[in-house]
C-alpha cells in the first residue's frame, strides 16, 4: 500500500482550532497532514511574502493547501517551495469535499444538451437588434438562436436576420406556423426548422435544414410516428418533439408521451420545449428547469427549446446551462444530482451555517479591537467586537447596541451588512462579511481577483475605521477585519 499523501495546511491563529478539528476527520490511509501557522491572526491576511518568510515545509510534504480567501499567488508559492500549491475552500467545513472525499471528482465542463433560445418577437425587431440579442444569448449559453415568427405578422427581414446571425458564427433555427417563412429561412441558411408535421414534412426534403417534427395535435402521437417513419426511411436527420404542455392543460400526459416516443424510437434525436412550464408557472424557474432537464437526461432528450419573456425567467439560459452540466455529470457518475456545486441552489444552501454559536463566541472572546465582526449561525446573526457580542434576527434591532450613532459611514455599512446577514439567516444561505450573497445560476457572481486584497470601500473617510474601510493609510481590510498599516 502506498504511503498517504502529506498535506500542509497554511493558516492563521484564529482558524487553527477549527482546521485541526476538521483535519482530524480526514482518513489516515489517504492523508497525513500538518498545519503551518503563518504567524498572523487572520489567515486571509497572509501574503506571499509572509508565507515565504515564515513558513517552513515539514519533511515529506507533498501538497500545500492555502485558505480560500488568502490573496497569495499559488503559482508563485509553488515555485518557491517546489511543491504543488492550491487554494482551498473558503470555509474549513468544506475541506473534505475539496479533497475529493465526497466520493467523486466534480467536472461540470461537459454536457450533451443543446439549447435553442427563441427570440419570440424577432419579426418586430430590426436585424441589428436581432444580432445583438443573439450574441447576448450565445454569451449566456445558448447554442442555437431561434427566430420565432408571430401569427399575422410580416417578417420581411427574416433572410437578412438569418444571414447576419450566420455571419457572426451562430447556429440559427426558424420557428413559424407559416410555411412561407420556413422556406425563406431555410433558403437563407437556417440550420434547423421548427416545427414540421406530417402535412408540411415535404419541406424537409427541399432543404438541408434539420427539421423538428411535431404531432398534428399534442395528443396525436400516431401522426408523429408517421412523420418519424418517413424520415427514417429517407435516412435524413431530424428531431422529434412530442410537445410539453402546461400544468392543468395536459402536462402529465405530455410527459408520458415523451416516455412513449423514446420507448418506440430508442435511438432518435428529440427536443423538449420547456417554456410552457417555465413561462406559464409563476414559480422560481430554476427548480422547474432543474426538474425538466433531469427528465431530459433520463430520456436522452438532447435538445431543448427555451424562451424568456416573463420577468421571472430572465435567467433561463443560464439556468438551463447550469442544469445540463449538473445532470450530465450526475448521470455519468450514476448518481443523484446532489453534491455537484451550488449553481442549482438560489434561495437556500446545503450547508448554510459554517460555524456554531459556541465557535463564534470563542472567536469573539479573542477580539481585542473595536471593529465589528458579523457571522451567522443557526441561532441568528452575531455581531461582536472587543466590547460587545449581540445575537439577534432583526438587523435594525442591533443599532442601540452598537457604538456608531455619531459615525454615519460606519452605521451605513453595518446596516447593509446586517441586513444581508439577516436575509441569509432567514433563507438558510451562507453569509460571509464583506462578500455578496451567492444566488447560484439565478444571478451572475461578482468577479474578484483572488490574488489581491479588496479595494477601498465607499465609506472610506467617513469616521472611525469600519469593516468596509481598507484605506491604505489606515491599513488593510480582509473579511471585515481592519489591520493597521505595518501590523501582521
Query: With pLDDT > 90 as the criterion, what percentage of the chain qualifies?
Result: 76
Higher pLDDT, 377 or 72: 377
Q: Which residues contact 152 (CB under 8 A, 6 or more apart)?
A: none
Q: How would you label 269-308 residue by residue, b for 16+ Cβ within 10 Å and e otherwise? A: bbbbbbbbbbbebeeebbebbbebbbbbbebebbbbbbbb
Please tell me the distance from the alpha carbon of residue 190 to that of residue 173, in angstroms, as a whole number: 5
Pick from 141, 114, 110, 165: which is nearest to 305 by CA?
Answer: 114
270 pLDDT tier (thresholds 50, 70, 90): very high
Contact 236, 218 (CB under 8 A): no
C-alpha dihedral (130, 133, 134, 136), degrees to nearest 10 = 160
User: How does DSSP classify residue 211?
Assistant: E
pLDDT band at 481 (very low <50, low <70, confident <90, very high): very low
Q: Are 267 and 282 in contact (CB under 8 A)?
A: no
Taking each helix axis from N to C end, the angle separating 251-264 and 285-299, rounded to the nearest 10 degrees, works out to 20
Q: Is the peptide bond before 195 cis (omega within 30 degrees of 0)?
A: yes
Question: What is the band of 466 on the pLDDT scale with cuts at 50, 70, 90?
Answer: very low
How far is CA 197 from each of CA 120, 176, 177, 233, 240, rounded to the nearest angstrom? 21, 12, 10, 16, 10
Mean pLDDT (the chain) is 90
Banded model confidence at residue 171, pLDDT cuts 50, 70, 90: very high
Query: Phi first, then psi: what are they for 389, rounded to 5°?
Result: -145, 105
Q: With 80 as the cut, is the pLDDT of residue 215 above it? A: yes
- The arithmetic mean of pLDDT across residues 1-14, rounded, is 87
At 127, is the pLDDT very low, low, confident or very high (cuts 50, 70, 90)?
very high
CB 110 within 8 A of CB 328: yes
User: Per-residue pLDDT for 202 more than 50?
Assistant: yes
pLDDT at position 70? 87
CA distance 381 to 357: 10
Average pLDDT of the segment spanning 79-95? 91
Whole-angstrom Cα distance, residue 166 to residue 273? Answer: 23
Q: Facing residues of 483 across strands?
A: 476
**Coil, strand or helix: which one is 401?**
helix
Distance (Å, whole) CA 62 – CA 85? 9
The secondary structure of 129-188 as a DSSP string is HHHHHHHHHHHHT-SEEEEE--TT---TTHHHHHHHHHHTT-EEEEE-S-HHHHHHHHHT
pLDDT at 488 over 50: no
Backbone angles phi, psi at 69, to 5 degrees: -95, 5
Three cell numbers written together for 316 = 433561463
Q: What are the pLDDT digits (tens) for 338-350?
A: 888 899 999 999 9
N-to-C CA span, the chain: 43
Q: Is 92 exposed, middle or buried (0-12, 13-18, 19+ CB in 10 A)?
A: buried
User: 210: which 3 cell numbers?
Assistant: 434539420
Contacts of 96 (CB under 8 A, 6+ apart): 22, 25, 26, 102
The Cα 94–Cα 23 span in angstroms is 11
For residue 434, give every residue at least 6 positions away whose Cβ sits within 8 Å of its Cβ, in sequence order, or none: 417, 454, 467, 468, 477, 479, 480
Alpha-carbon separation of residue 323 from 85, 403, 465 (angstroms): 31, 46, 43
CB atoms within 10 A of CB 69: 20
Give the Cα separation of 392 and 98 in Å (integer): 32
Q: What's the rounded Cα separation, in Å, for the pair 13 and 369?
A: 16
> Treating both helix axes as pointing N-terminal to C-terminal, what angle do 316-332 and 127-140 enclose, rounded to 10 degrees?
30
Task: Report whether pLDDT(479) > 70.
Answer: no
What confidence tier does 482 reach under pLDDT thresholds 50, 70, 90?
very low
Separation of alpha carbons 231 and 189, rounded Å? 21
Q: Which of 218, 261, 266, 268 is nearest to 238 (CA)?
A: 268
pLDDT for residue 455: 61
Amino acid at each position: 500500500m502506498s504511503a498517504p499523501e502529506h498535506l500542509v495546511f497554511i493558516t492563521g491563529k484564529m482558524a487553527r482550532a477549527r482546521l485541526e478539528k476538521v483535519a482530524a476527520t480526514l482518513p489516515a490511509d489517504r492523508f497525513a497532514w500538518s498545519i503551518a501557522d503563518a504567524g498572523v491572526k487572520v489567515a486571509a491576511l497572509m501574503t506571499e511574502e509572509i508565507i515565504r518568510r515564515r513558513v517552513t515545509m515539514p519533511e515529506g510534504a507533498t501538497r500545500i493547501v492555502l485558505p480560500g480567501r488568502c490573496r497569495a499567488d499559488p503559482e508563485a508559492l509553488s515555485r518557491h517551495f517546489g511543491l504543488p500549491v492550491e487554494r482551498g475552500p473558503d470555509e474549513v467545513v468544506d475541506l473534505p469535499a475539496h479533497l475529493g472525499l465526497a466520493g467523486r471528482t466534480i467536472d461540470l465542463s461537459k454536457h450533451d444538451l443543446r439549447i435553442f433560445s427563441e427570440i419570440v418577437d424577432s419579426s418586430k425587431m430590426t436585424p441589428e437588434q436581432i444580432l445583438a440579442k443573439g450574441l447576448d444569448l450565445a454569451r449566456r449559453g445558448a447554442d442555437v438562436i431561434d427566430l420565432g415568427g408571430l401569427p399575422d405578422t410580416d417578417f420581411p427581414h427574416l433572410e437578412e436576420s438569418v444571414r447576419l446571425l450566420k455571419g457572426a458564427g451562430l447556429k440559427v433555427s426558424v420557428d413559424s406556423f407559416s410555411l412561407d417563412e420556413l422556406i425563406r429561412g431555410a433558403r437563407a441558411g437556417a440550420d434547423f426548422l421548427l416545427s414540421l408535421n406530417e402535412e408540411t414534412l415535404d419541406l424537409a426534403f427541399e432543404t438541408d435544414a434539420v427539421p423538428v417534427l411535431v404531432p398534428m395535435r399534442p395528443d396525436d402521437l400516431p401522426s408523429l410516428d408517421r412523420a418519424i417513419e418517413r424520415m427514417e426511411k429517407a435516412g435524413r436527420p431530424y428531431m422529434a418533439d412530442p410537445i410539453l404542455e402546461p400544468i392543468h392543460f395536459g402536462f402529465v400526459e405530455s410527459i408520458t408521451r415523451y416516455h412513449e416516443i423514446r420507448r418506440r424510437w430508442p435511438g432518435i434525436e428529440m427536443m423538449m420545449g420547456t417554456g410552457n412550464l417555465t413561462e406559464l408557472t409563476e414559480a422560481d424557474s430554476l427548480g422547474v428547469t432543474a426538474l425538466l432537464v433531469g427528465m431530459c437526461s433520463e430520456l436522452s432528450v438532447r435538445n431543448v427549446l427555451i424562451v424568456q419573456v416573463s420577468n421571472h425567467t430572465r435567467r433561463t439560459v443560464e439556468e438551463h446551462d447550469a442544469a445540463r452540466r449538473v445532470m450530465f455529470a450526475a448521470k455519468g457518475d450514476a448518481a443523484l444530482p446532489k453534491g455537484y456545486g451550488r449553481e442549482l441552489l438560489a434561495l437556500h444552501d446545503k450547508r448554510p451555517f459554517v460555524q456554531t454559536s459556541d465557535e463564534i463566541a470563542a472567536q469573539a472572546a479573542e477580539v481585542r479591537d473595536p471593529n465589528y465582526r458579523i457571522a451567522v449561525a443557526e441561532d441568528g446573526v452575531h455581531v461582536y467586537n472587543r466590547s460587545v457580542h449581540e445575537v439577534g434576527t432583526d438587523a435594525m434591532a442591533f443599532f442601540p447596541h452598537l457604538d456608531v450613532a455619531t459615525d454615519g459611514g460606519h452605521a451605513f455599512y453595518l446596516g447593509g451588512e446586517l441586513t444581508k446577514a439577516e436575509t441569509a439567516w432567514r433563507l438558510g444561505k451562507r453569509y460571509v462579511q464583506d462578500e455578496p450573497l451567492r444566488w447560484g445560476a439565478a444571478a451572475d457572481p461578482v468577479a474578484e481577483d483572488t490574488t489581491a486584497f479588496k479595494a477601498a470601500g465607499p465609506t472610506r473617510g467617513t469616521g472611525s475605521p469600519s469593516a468596509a474601510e481598507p484605506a491604505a493609510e489606515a491599513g488593510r481590510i480582509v473579511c471585515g477585519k481592519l489591520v493597521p498599516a505595518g501590523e501582521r
